[in-house]
Amino acid sequence: MTTKHVLLACVLASLSACAGRKAAWQNEDGDGKAGAAGDAAAQIAEGDKHWEKRTDPAEIRAAIKIWEQVAAADPKNFDALVKLTRANYFLADGYLRNDEKEYLRTMDLGVKWGEKAMIASSPEFEAKMRAGGKLPEAVKLVSKTGVPAMYWYASSLGKWAKRKGFAVLLGQKDNVKATMDRVLELDPTFYYGGPHRYFGAFYAVAPAFAGGDLEKSRVHFNKSLEISATYVGTKVLWAQELAVKEQDEETFEKLLNEVIATPDDVIPDVKPEIIVEKQKAKELLADKDELF
C-alpha cells in the first residue's frame, strides 16, 4: 500500500481508529463510580502549592497525584479536570520532549483529562458524544465556561497527534481545529492569545491540501502578539513553524533571540512556562543548520 493510500484510508476511517485511542465518551460505563470523598477544595489548594513550583517536574507530578485523587472522588469536578489537562500538557511539553514514550503517554493523559473536562462542562456535549455524535458538531454545545477544557484538550491532542505522525495528525485535524475554532469564537484572548497562536501554527504546519495557508498563519501569529506581546511562546511557534516553512532564516533568528533576551518573569503568573519557551528557543537555534 502506498503512502497516498495509507493517508486516504486514515481520512476515511473513524478518527479514533486512526488515532489508536479510545475517547472518554466511548466508555459505555461513563466516568465510573465516585471514590472516597474528601475536602476537594483543600486538596485542590494543596495541589496548587505544588503547581506553583512547576519549574521542577517532580512538583508537577505531585500536583497531578493530588488532583487525580479529587477526580477519583468526583469524576466531574471541572476545576480538577482542567488542572489535570493543563498539568499533563505542560509536563510533556516542558520536560519530556526528548523522551518519546513518556512524552506520548503524558500528552495522551492530557487529552484524556481534557475529554473528561469537556464532558463535565456540558451535559449537552456529553449526551451528543455518548450518542455517537461527531466532535466538530458537538463541541458547538460547549459554553464559554468550558473554554479552559477545550483549549488544553485541543493543545494536548494536537501535539500528541503531531508526534504520532502525519497520518494521525491528519486524522485528528478536524477534531482539534473545531475545538479551537470554538475557543476562538468564545474567547480569542484566552491564555495570552492562545487560539490565534494555535491557528498560526496550524496554518503553517498543514499542507495546502489540508487547509495550510502561510498568509493566514502570519495573520494569526500577529493577532496573538497584539493580544499579548510578551508571551514568548508565540514567537517560538512562529519561528519553529512559519519561519522554517518559509525558510526565512532572518526572521527565525530575530524571533528566537528576542525570546532569549526576554526576562523570565515578564509575565509572573507563567514564569515557568516562559523559562521553558526560552529553552525551546535555544534548542531551535542550536538546530538551525539542520532546519535551513
Residue 64 has pLDDT above 60, yes or no: yes
Would you say 77 and 71 are in contact if contact means Cβ atoms under 8 Å apart? yes
Taking only the tens place, the pLDDT of each residue in 103-140 is 999 999 999 999 999 999 999 999 999 999 999 999 99
Q: Is 148 a residue whose pLDDT tops 70?
A: yes
Tally Cβ neighbours within 10 Å of residue 4.
Answer: 8
Please, are residues 249 and 207 in contact by the beta-carbon 8 Å criterion? no
Give residue limits of the domains in the chain.
Answer: 15-25+38-185, 188-292
Nearest residue to 159 via CA among 223, 191, 192, 202: 202
**Per-residue H/E/C for 226-243:** HHCCCCCHHHHHHHHHHH
In this predicted structure, the answer to whether residue 235 has a pLDDT above a threshold of 50 is: yes
Return the higher-pLDDT residue of 196 and 11: 196
DSSP type of residue 206: S
Domain 15-25+38-185 and domain 188-292, same fold? Reply is: yes
Fold of 15-25+38-185: 1.25.40
58 — pLDDT class (breaks 50, 70, 90): very high
Output the pLDDT for position 24: 75
Interval 34-56 mean pLDDT: 87
Are 171 and 10 in contact, with CB atoms under 8 Å apart? yes
pLDDT at 2: 42
How far, in Å, CA of 23 to CA of 25, rounded? 5
Q: For the structural domain made of 188-292, what CATH number should be given?
A: 1.25.40.920
- 53: Cβ contacts below 8 Å, ≥ 6 apart: 59
Whether the predicted pLDDT of 10 surpasses 80: no
Whether 216 shows a pLDDT value over 50: the answer reads: yes
**C-alpha 90: how far from chain center:** 9
Q: Buried (b) or exposed (e) across 104-116, using 16+ Cβ within 10 A?
A: bebbbbbbbbbbb
13 against 183, higher pLDDT = 183
